[in-house]
Amino acid sequence: MAGITRHVEVVLEGLTIGPLRLTTNLCLSPLAGYTNLPFRLVVREVGGVGLATTDLVNARSLLEKRPKAWKLVETRPADQPLAVQLFGARPDEMAAAAQLVETLGAACVDINMGCPVRKVCQVGAGSALMRDMDQAVAVARAMVKAVRIPVTAKMRLGWDARNITAPELARALEDVGVAAVFVHGRTREQGFTGRVSLDGIRQVVRAVRNIPVIGNGDVTTPEAAWVMLKETGCAGVSIGRGAFYDPWIFRRTWAYLSRLRTGDSTGDQHSDQEIPPEPTFEERLQVMRRHLDLLVEVFGEESACKMFRKIGPWYARRFGPNHEFNRRIVHLQRRDEFEEIVATYCRWRQQFCDAEGNLLPRYQPPPLTASFLAPDEVAEVVSVPSGPVEFW
Ligand SMILES: Cc1cc2nc3c(=O)[nH]c(=O)nc-3n(C[C@H](O)[C@H](O)[C@H](O)COP(=O)(O)O)c2cc1C
């Protein structure tokens, strides 16, 4: 009990990345195509997130002032603290882009060491950096010299099971001034299959001397976040797809960790009551609506509605029966149409509810489970959004 309380207390001190002090140790992972300004604002408004990051941004495109790259770094004062993730292989370009990011007001700049796209790897960027330690270190060193904000790196455990390079790489990066390392507990070869290796993350925690290591992979519940923290000794947890299922995950996890500290728990066995409940259907609708409104503000109605066609179904995964919603939302064209779709769906959903309007237990979506908490070897527990992301 004393051990667990002390560990939670350390965690509840928040996370410090170089001079940057975060209010919680929970971070939003970059999800290209999803972690844009509207989604970051939604997650921040819901609460509990210590640091949010942009999608990966091509350093050269940023320097060449390409509009798409600049749109990716669009931010607002409410979108702080913000990390901008850059990819590139040339130290001079990455350093210049980091300076640019600093002038735009980013709180820190992250180096992508995970992108598998051939075009990126062929020029030595993304996950290719995990195979070329000298280049990775040269890039990091140049960036650290160029900016005052902390420079961080995000990686997988290694290229494949025979090449687990993350511990050595993390240590080498620390030596040139990298302020924190984010590690997804799978190899590039694994894609999103198999279990997240808590042991693999632990090895990285042990390899560095002082900098925080932030664990990542398959965290979809407050309990999974706590298990990752406890089992690996990592200083924080970064959540990607789990936030898409549930933008409340940061708030719920932070509340859960705080309750563990108050000493109500009886050791490592926590009852379900200690885990804050999932949001109600009405709350989900409210936040989903806010998400759409922010998309309209930032991208304009037409693009926002197109983008929302793939976002809406993620919210609907926790609605219970959702066919009627998904069937229509994937054709969304106008903001006002959304209200009509929701109203029709709510009427349709009544048939699965009791007299108080609550979903009958047999229609409730099954609880989410992290791969590392599942009893048996599983192929994939958390869905992966469609697109060329198999090896992120
Ligand atoms: C659709 C998608 C896009 C992603 N984009 C990026 C990215 O731009 N940069 C990056 O470092 N990782 C990216 N990732 C990897 C995630 O940041 C994260 O490491 C991975 O999804 C595991 O965490 P999770 O299980 O919490 O999602 C992406 C993953 C997905 C599914």
Domain ranges of the chain: 2-274, 281-317+319-363
Question: What separation in Å is there between the alpha carbon of 267 and the centre of ligand 1?
Answer: 33
Q: Does the C-beta of 239 come closer than 6 Å to ligand 1?
A: yes
Residue 5 has which token pair?
A: 């309380």
Question: What separation in Å is there between the alpha carbon of 367 and the centre of ligand 1?
Answer: 22
Residue of 28, 31, 84 to test ligand 1 pocket, by largest number of atoms within 8 Å of CB: 31
Higher pLDDT, 64 or 373: 64
Locus of tokens 């090896």: 391
Q: Is residue 170 scored above 70 in pLDDT? A: yes
pLDDT at 388: 47
Q: Does the C-beta of 31 come closer than 6 Å to ligand 1?
A: yes
Residue of 29, 154, 246, 391 to test ligand 1 pocket, by largest number of atoms within 8 Å of CB: 29
Contact (Cβ atoms closer than 8 angstroms) between residue 243 and residue 221? no
pLDDT at 385: 66
**Catalytic annotation on 115?**
yes
Contact (Cβ atoms closer than 8 angstroms) between residue 229 and residue 216? no
What confidence tier does 379 reach under pLDDT thresholds 50, 70, 90?
A: very low
Contact (Cβ atoms closer than 8 angstroms) between residue 204 and residue 213? yes
Whose CA is closest to atom 4 on ligand 1?
31
233-237, 276-280, 354-358, range with greatest mean pLDDT? 233-237
Q: Does the C-beta of 384 come closer than 6 Å to ligand 1?
A: yes
Q: Is residue 128 scored above 90 in pLDDT? A: no
Distance of CA 23 to the CA centre of its chain: 17
pTM value surpassing 0.85: yes
Q: How far apart are CA 195 and CA 370, in angstroms?
A: 9
User: Out of 108, 115, 234, 305, which one is annotated catalytic?
Assistant: 115
Locus of tokens 């599983």: 378
Q: Does the C-beta of 219 come closer than 6 Å to ligand 1?
A: yes
Question: What separation in Å is there between the alpha carbon of 185 and the centre of ligand 1?
Answer: 12
Q: Which CATH class is domain 2-274?
A: alpha beta
Q: How far apart are CA 288 and CA 79, in angstroms?
A: 18
SS3 7: helix
Question: What separation in Å is there between the alpha carbon of 392 and the centre of ligand 1?
Answer: 6
What confidence tier does 390 reach under pLDDT thresholds 50, 70, 90?
A: very low
What confidence tier does 57 reach under pLDDT thresholds 50, 70, 90?
A: very high
Which residues, 6+ apart, have CB-to-CB distance to 146 below 8 Å? 95, 96, 98, 99
SS3 84: strand
Q: Does the C-beta of 191 come closer than 6 Å to ligand 1?
A: no
Output the average pLDDT for the chain: 91
